[in-house]
Chain A
Amino acid sequence: ETGVTQTPRHLVMGMTNKKSLKCEQHLGHNAMYWYKQSAKKPLELMFVYNFKEQTENNSVPSRFSPECPNSSHLFLHLHTLQPEDSALYLCASSQGAGGSSQETQYFGPGTRLLVL
């Protein structure tokens, strides 16, 4: 397995369900990111972790809960979501975090989420 992987690739959930998205990077990077991509909108940064520490929470509702147990794995726990949360959720990693010369981000394939 190489690069950044995400599971599941597709997810349908009801508003009362609890689910988790998983991301794993095989690049030896130290920073990991969650983004939300909706139609006709730019990529929206949700969370940033650098060396397992959360360094950015972009005013994300508490129904999204990130977890970073180590530099290679990142989770996004979902509960009581709303239909407007339906989107493509992208994970990315970089060697360094913002402000460093090694901040080029590499993305996973995304999880297409549909909330009913």
Chain B
Amino acid sequence: EDQVTQSPEALRLQEGESSSLNCSYTVSGLRGLFWYRQDPGKGPEFLFTLYSAGEEKEKERLKATLTKKESFLHITAPKPEDSATYLCAVGGSGNTPLVFGKGTRLSVIA
């Protein structure tokens, strides 16, 4: 059974204090790992898809990396507007549905 674990559950950062969020996964053949951002009362917003170990993608202050067992979402010099819940999802082999983690709730304090 495909599994996703995100850590930490919550993270509080000062503005400008860089950090990383973790997404550990267990799948029988990874076809894709997805990162989303979700603001309170809104639907998840797509950020990145990673397909193979060693792949990296960047968008503004965010950088996602992937290994065979986990993915990291690095946040460089975060701003208060980066505060949100960040969700990770994985798709295993075949047509199995995506499995989502519980998310990491990030708070960036000015």
The reply to whether A58 and B46 contact each other, CB–CB distance below 8 Å, is: no
Q: List 27 A-B contacts (CB under 8 A).
A: A4-B43, A40-B102, A41-B102, A42-B99, A42-B103, A43-B44, A43-B89, A45-B98, A48-B97, A55-B95, A97-B95, A98-B96, A98-B97, A99-B91, A99-B95, A103-B91, A104-B46, A105-B34, A105-B46, A105-B98, A106-B46, A107-B43, A107-B45, A107-B46, A108-B43, A109-B41, A110-B43
The reply to whether A90 and B97 contact each other, CB–CB distance below 8 Å, is: no
Chain A residues whose CB sits within 8 angstroms of the CB of B46 once the complex forms: 104-107
Interface size class on chain B is: 20 to 34
Most buried by B among A40, A43, A58: A43
Give the CA-CA distance A6 to B34 in the complex, in Å. Answer: 23
Chain A residues whose CB sits within 8 angstroms of the CB of B102 once the complex forms: 40-42
Task: Tell me, yes or no, whether A56 is within 8 Å of chain B by CB.
Answer: yes
Task: Tell me, yes or no, whether A112 is within 8 Å of chain B by CB.
Answer: yes
| B29 → A minimal CB distance (Å) | 11
Question: In the complex where A104-B46, A109-B43 touch, is A42 in contact with B96 (Cβ < 8 A)?
Answer: no
**Within the complex, which residue of A6, A40, A42, A110 is in contact with B100, where a contact is CB–CB below 8 Å?**
A42
Main secondary structure of the interface of A (DSSP, over half): loop
The reply to whether B97 and A112 contact each other, CB–CB distance below 8 Å, is: no
**Within the complex, which residue of A40, A42, A98, A109 is in contact with B95, where a contact is CB–CB below 8 Å?**
A98
Q: What 0/1 readout, one digit per residue, does chain A (86-103) give for beta carbons within 8 Å of chain B? A: 000010100001110001
| A111 → B minimal CB distance (Å) | 10
Residues of chain A from 38 to 70 with CB closer than 8 A to chain B in the complex: 40-43, 45, 48, 55-56, 58
Most buried by B among A48, A99, A106: A99
**Within the complex, which residue of A42, A103, A106, A112 is in contact with B32, where a contact is CB–CB below 8 Å?**
A103
